[in-house]
Structure 1
Amino acid sequence: MNALLHRSCLTVLTLTGLFVGGWAYFAPWHWYNTFPGMGFRWLPVLGPYNEHFVKDVGAMNLAMAALSIMAFLYLGNRALMHATALTLSVFNLLHLIYHVPMLHMYGPLDATLNAVSLTVVLLCSLAIALPVRASVHDCRPPSDQIP
């Protein structure tokens, strides 16, 4: 069960990192003006556009996606799983803590979706800290080291 939970959470974290990171890094102005998409606009109310900041957000999210991919591929590597869980949980917790006091700037639907999405990625990053059963094998040949 934990292996399925880990893979599901790592998939969510990878896709989130690739989506947010790729969009922010490669189309920063569009990302700032239209994130999260589907007619919602969450960023302009938080402050003026800054391309350097947006590209840094994009690069960081792409790096977190890369870490999530490595953890997915080496699911049996406990050190990597703990490092991934700690890294992503620190970011996602601090990100949620920053945004909660800002929810009043949004309408009820936007505030709810913002809080739910940030909480889901935090819960996913915390869940991958749970131990994986010994019978779980990663996608690569068994190894205690990452090449």
Structure 2
Amino acid sequence: MSAIKRIALAISAALGLFVGGWATITPRGFYEAFPGVLGHWIDLDGPYNEHLIRDVGGLYLALAAASVVVLVLRSAWAPLGAAWTVFGALHLAYHATHLDGFSTADAVGAIVSLAVSLGLGVVLLVPTRRRAEAVTR
């Protein structure tokens, strides 16, 4: 596994643990204050729903756990990349079309952070050069 993929996995795991942990441990706090120092984005999108916030926390924690397992085992990064990419693309698409109430800075911050998350998934999905060469031989 390339160093770039290991870095993408580590960042993905950290992202999943941060978002998932916060949403799971304090769903109301997550709703009112995410992403923290950058502003607050979740409460701009509708009323509080503890079930939804806890489900989001569980989703992020599941992706983080899978990222950690792939980091340790150094295998199965493509299916994990597919999961992060599908989630990231759908998440970005939703938020890119639902920016009402966001300041310009918050809208840019939300879209950039979601694009980075999607990009991490794509990095994991793309075959390494060595594997791509082996397949063509």
Same fold at TM > 0.5: yes
Partner of 1:139: none
* CA shift for structure 1 position 39: 5.3
* CA shift for structure 1 position 11: 1.1
Q: Deviations over 1:110-137 (max 9, x none)?
A: 0111000000010010101222365xxx
1:131 aligns with 2:127: yes
Contact 1:3 1:133 in 2 (8 A): no
CA distance in 1, matches of 2:114, 2:87: 11
SS where residue 128 of structure 1 aligns?
helix
Contact 1:34 1:40 in 2 (8 A): yes
Q: Compute the RMSD of aligned alpha carbons.
A: 1.6
1:103 aligns with 2:99: yes
Percent identical residues: 36
* CA shift for structure 1 position 4: 1.3
CA distance in 2, matches of 1:15, 1:37: 16
Structure (1/2) with the larger helix percentage = 2
| Structure 1: 5+ residue stretches without partners | 135-147
Contact 1:82 1:128 in 2 (8 A): yes
CA distance in 1, matches of 2:12, 2:101: 26
What TM-score comes out, normalization by structure 1 length?
Answer: 0.84
| Structure 2: 5+ residue stretches without partners | 131-137
**Count of residues paired in the alignment:** 131
